[in-house]
Amino acid sequence: NAGVTQTPKFRVLKTGQSMTLLCAQDMNHEYMYWYRQDPGMGLRLIHYSVGEGTTAKGEVPDGYNVSRLKKQNFLLGLESAAPSQTSVYFCASSSAGLGNSPLHFGNGTRLTVT
């Protein structure tokens, strides 16, 4: 009964380092999303995917790349981390478009960039 699993849970990076956040869902959902949550800013969409092999930009895509090589996984990459990317990152999935099914969220990854 895992749902949406994010790894790692915590990470500290130095400016300029790279890393990949992994999101895995076991619900056979078509749609997957990456959000960041910052104090006083709510949740903002970084990138999303409407199916295996597809990705699209969200509201704040700069500095991030994503890949959806397998239906169950959605990877978020930071090629050269910046302090402005310090945030809590949430992955979510849904079985259909947002108008037809709710989002299922992971527990988040807390990233600090020094």
Site for other proteins in 71-100 (CB under 8 A): 90, 92, 96-100
The site that binds other proteins (CB under 8 A) totals a number of residues, namely 27
23 burial (CB, 10 Å; 0-12 / 13-18 / 19+) is: buried
Q: Minimum distance between the CB of residue 48 and other proteins, rounded to whole angstroms?
A: 8
Instruction: Give the residue with the Cβ less far from other proteins, 30 or 67.
Output: 30
List 19, 20, 22, 43, residue binding other proteins (CB under 8 A):
43
Amino acid 42 reads: G
Name, in order, each residue with C-beta under 8 angstroms of 9's C-beta and a sequence gap of 6 or more.
107, 108, 109, 110
Omega of the bond leading into 102 within 30 degrees of 0 (cis): no
Q: Taking contact as CB under 8 A, which single stretch among the options 15-23, 62-70, 78-86, 106-114 is the one that binds other proteins?
A: 106-114
Burial 69-83 (b: 16+ CB within 10 A, else e): eebbebbbebeebee
Q: Is residue 41 at the binding interface for other proteins, with CB under 8 A as the rule?
A: yes
Q: Residue numbers of the site for other proteins (CB under 8 A)? A: 4, 31, 33, 35, 40-45, 48, 50, 58-59, 90, 92, 96-100, 102-103, 105-108
